[in-house]
Structure 1
């Protein structure tokens, strides 16, 4: 014999809220501590700032080297620059000169 009366279970009314809490907790944890979470974003931002500074240094160094190469090119050979490089590479100096290297 079938009746419409069902025994109320105490466990049954906690299933949906427990699943919801587990679901929200899982995604909340990974939102903060995950690979793309808030803490990882801070690390990525710090790396971006460090690398942008490094890039600026490298760009400045490249521009300086391009200027030196332009001075040594065939069209505009600068005698002082040529003399400086020859003395540096060959470690040549006159007897009455004092040489100071600051590279």
Structure 2
């Protein structure tokens, strides 16, 4: 007993599966390439690693500045650091010293 379906009936029966496929496709697309999808997640992961490196660098710089700040405490100044700062900022040398100029690349670490 074969039933002959009209075009209208076939469209009505196919509507629900078509809507389900469309909804599933929509969510699948956004799961892969949406603003919080897999592709964006990978980019966020790369950004996070770069930011973590920047934070680590900043923390290292802060620690170095903190060590230098401790040496510059007015109650007990480190004599070597004070001598270095005075010589550098005031261009003072002792009579028995010789000044040897260094290239910029070597003195950049000072």
TM range (shorter): 0.7 to 0.9
1:49 is paired with a residue of what secondary structure? helix
2:10 is paired with a residue of what secondary structure? coil
Moved more, 64-73 or 93-102: 93-102
Alpha-carbon separation, structure 1, partners of 2:23 and 2:35:
18
What TM-score, normalized to structure 1? 0.82
Unaligned runs of 5+ in 1: 1-6
Q: Specify the alignment match of 1:3 in structure 2.
A: none
What TM-score, normalized to structure 2? 0.77
Tell me the number of residue pairs that the alignment of Structure 1 and Structure 2 aligns. 97
Give RMSD over aligned pairs: 1.8
Unaligned runs of 5+ in 2: none
1:60 is paired with a residue of what secondary structure? helix
1:10 is paired with a residue of what secondary structure? helix
Q: Specify the alignment match of 1:53 in structure 2.
A: 53
Alpha-carbon separation, structure 1, partners of 2:50 and 2:85:
33
